[in-house]
């Protein structure tokens, strides 16, 4: 069962057009696709005739099939790139951030821009910390908050 036309327009993100204009656009799109397919068939036939004068018919078929497969692969790659969502814009850096907060923000921005490298670095550090107890103790010492003396209170 098909969804109502208004819901279909909403799903596809089409502008508010009359059903007659949408139908006409759909028919024109189908006709254009048919003409494009007919043109590609004729182009392949012309390429076949041109190559038959100098090559064996089996090699001509191989060459034409490879050209068609390369064209299809290129169109699929283009469709994939066009259908990927755009990355979210990075937040602007604050103008007057303290030094520690600025370093954290820069680190976070780097991780967002380079997720694969950040994953590899985290895996390498995890391996080092798991294999070397001295490195683990040193990191825990660095991460531990400084002790306050009773005199500071």
Instruction: Specify whether the CB–CB gap between 61 and 73 falls below 8 A.
Output: no
Provide the pLDDT for residue 146.
Answer: 73
Q: Answer whether 123's CB lies under 8 Å from 116's CB.
A: no
In total, the chain counts a number of residues equal to 153
Q: What's the whole-model pTM score? A: 0.40
The residues, ordered by sequence, that sit 6+ positions from 48 with a Cβ below 8 Å of its Cβ are 60, 61, 64
Specify if 51 maps to a domain.
Answer: yes
* Total domains in the fold of the chain: 2
How far, in whole angstroms, is CA 128 from its chain's centroid? 32
Give percent of the chain above pLDDT 90. 5
Does residue 35 share a domain with residue 60? Answer: yes
Digit-coded pLDDT (tens) for 98-142: 666 777 888 888 888 888 888 888 888 888 888 888 888 887 888
**Helix pair 115-131, 133-143: axis angle to 10 deg:** 110
Same domain flag for 22 and 71: yes
Does the pLDDT of residue 77 top 60, yes or no? yes
């Amino acid at each position: 069962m098909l969804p109502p036309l208004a819901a279909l327009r909403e799903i596809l993100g089409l502008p508010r057009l009359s059903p007659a204009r949408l139908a006409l656009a759909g028919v024109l799109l189908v006709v254009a696709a048919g003409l494009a397919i007919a043109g590609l068939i004729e182009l392949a036939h012309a390429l076949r005739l041109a190559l038959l004068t100098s090559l064996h018919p089996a090699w001509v078929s191989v060459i034409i099939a490879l050209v068609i497969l390369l064209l299809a692969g290129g169109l699929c790659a283009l469709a994939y790139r066009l259908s990927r969502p755009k990355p979210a814009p990075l937040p602007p850096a604050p103008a007057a951030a303290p030094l520690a907060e600025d370093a954290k923000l820069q680190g976070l921005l780097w991780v967002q821009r380079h997720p694969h490298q950040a994953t590899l670095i985290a895996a390498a550090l995890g391996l080092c910390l798991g294999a070397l107890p001295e490195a683990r103790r040193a990191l825990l010492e660095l991460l531990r908050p400084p002790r306050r003396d009773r005199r500071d209170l």
